[in-house]
Amino acid sequence: MSPPATIFADEEAVRPTHVEVDLTTLAENLAAIRTHVAGAKVMTILKANAYGHGLVPVAQHMVRCGADYLGVAFLEEGILLRREGITTPILVLGGIAGEQIPLFLKYNLTLTAPSVEKLRLIDEVASMLGERARVHLKVDTGMERIGIHYYNAETLLEAALSCQHVEVEGIFSHFANADAEDLGHARLQVERFQEVLSFYERRSLPTPMRHMANSAGILQLPESHFDLVRPGILLYGVYPSQECLRTITVKPALTWKSRVAYFKVVQAGHPVSYGSTWQSDHPVRMITVPVGYGDGYFRALSSKSEVIVRGQRYPVVGRVCMDQLMVNLEQGTAYNGDEVVLLGSSGGQCISAEEIASWAGTIPYEVLTNINTRVPRLYRSEDA
């Protein structure tokens, strides 16, 4: 396994199409979340290449900013961070395959135990290797993804008591719709989780670290903060949904940019791009930008989205190609090499992940995580 390729050696050599991540903004977002959740610890969620922001640099920065725990989706993400020298605790949130357990132990990664069967397997493997596995028990309170159902959870909590080679450090659950306006289901999930947790009190046992809140839970459900919170999207400065209360102020940290690669005038009636789906009835000025769906700029944005050039918004016209797209300037001006902002703010204009999501018929999460790793990431901070 090798870390994701870095295409650029320095800023001189960077591809015109690149992402800029503002580390200062990420630090401010983390600080704002921390203030809001008062005593709770923070597990920064770094799955999917840190929501497109770049796994390793963002993880290193979060560690510098004092993140208490890191959360990733699968084993390989955790191993990559350990190989980069990160020693902060890392929880792998997703399900595990039995044969992966030795690697979790080797790299000191915290496992999610979503069933009695998996827990016993972890215990067995740890016993065989003469190690102790650190696990967080996963309770399904109404998501039906992974985790023992809340109505059977006592069997898992009970089983954990007899596992000699497992340290149950945490216990957690996950919301299905804490970002909704109607929080009925989310509140029911919190109640179910609390009912499961009462096991420890009834048995006079110490309660493991309890956690439930994703970004939406952090924003809308203070009763879900427990001992630790798990912000993902909010850390990156994006709100989980339109309806979700904005009880914390955060700012987007990512800007996706390119440059004008070509300029021309397109005559009336001359169609643009694959499928000849768009044409003008009068001559227009047009630029070609070297970014496409191969970079994660959705093809669904064809003739739907806008970009910012010289402080003006202009429409993308015709089909988005794999590596290029065309923008109609009408009578506007741009020169080869001019900056084109696809996502982010420039010259008083802003194109948000939410706006791109609405054009493409998806959610801002997918807009961010879809930015391909072939797009270089540059990191800026105020003190750099």
- Which lies closer to ligand PLP via its Cβ, residue 47 or residue 53? 47
Question: Shortest distance, CB of residue 215 to ligand PLP, whole angstroms?
Answer: 3
Pick from 53, 61, 59: nearest CA to 79:
59
Nearest to 139 by CA among 211, 215, 231: 211
The SS3 call for residue 18 is strand
> Closest approach of Cβ 211 to ligand PLP, in Å?
8
Q: Is 286 annotated as a binding residue?
A: no
**Which residue carries 């809140």 as its tokens?**
213
Distance in Å, CB of 110 to ligand PLP, minimum: 13
Question: Does residue 274 carry a catalytic annotation?
Answer: yes
Residue from 368, 356, 376, 298 nearest 52 by CA: 368
Of 47, 118, 138, 257, which is the active-site residue? 47
- The nearest distance, CB 91 to ligand PLP, in angstroms, is 9
Residue type, 222: P
CB of 221 to ligand PLP, least distance (A): 12
Residue 124 Cβ vs ligand PLP, minimum distance, rounded to whole Å: 25
Distance CA 213, CA 219 (A): 9
Catalytic residue among 106, 151, 262, 274: 274
* Count of Cβ atoms closer than 10 Å to residue 328 Cβ: 20
Question: Which is closer to ligand PLP, CB of 127 or CB of 362?
Answer: 362
Q: Parallel, antiparallel, or unpaired for β 18-22 and 306-309?
A: unpaired
Q: What is the phi/psi pair of residue 128, to 5°? A: -60, -40
**Do the beta carbons of residue 163 and residue 124 sit within 8 Å?**
no
Q: Is 145 annotated as a binding residue?
A: yes
Which residues here bind ligand PLP, judged by CB under 6 A? Answer: 45, 47, 93, 174, 214-216, 230-234, 240
Nearer of residues 160 and 219 to ligand PLP, judged by Cβ: 219
Residue nearest to ligand PLP (CB): 232
Of 28 and 306, nearer to ligand PLP (C-beta) is 28
| Cα→Cα distances 354→21, 75, 124, 366, 367, Å | 18, 30, 46, 10, 8
301: CB partners within 8 A, 6+ apart:
316, 320, 356, 359, 360
CB nearer to ligand PLP: pick between 233 and 284: 233
The CA distance from 271 to 284, in Å, is: 12
> Looking at beta carbons only, is 213 or 340 nearer to ligand PLP?
213
What does the alpha-carbon distance between residue 106 and residue 195 come to, in Å, rounded to a whole number?
35
Going by C-beta distance under 8 Å and a sequence separation of 6 or more, which residues neighbour residue 4?
49, 55, 373
262 in catalytic set? no
Report the amino acid identity of residue 294: G
Mark residue 377 as left, alpha or beta (left: phi above 0; alpha: psi -120 to 50; beta: remaining).
beta
Helices (H), 162-317: 184-202, 215-220
Catalytic residues, which ones?
47, 274
Residues annotated within a binding site for substrate: 145, 322
Residues annotated within a binding site: 145, 322
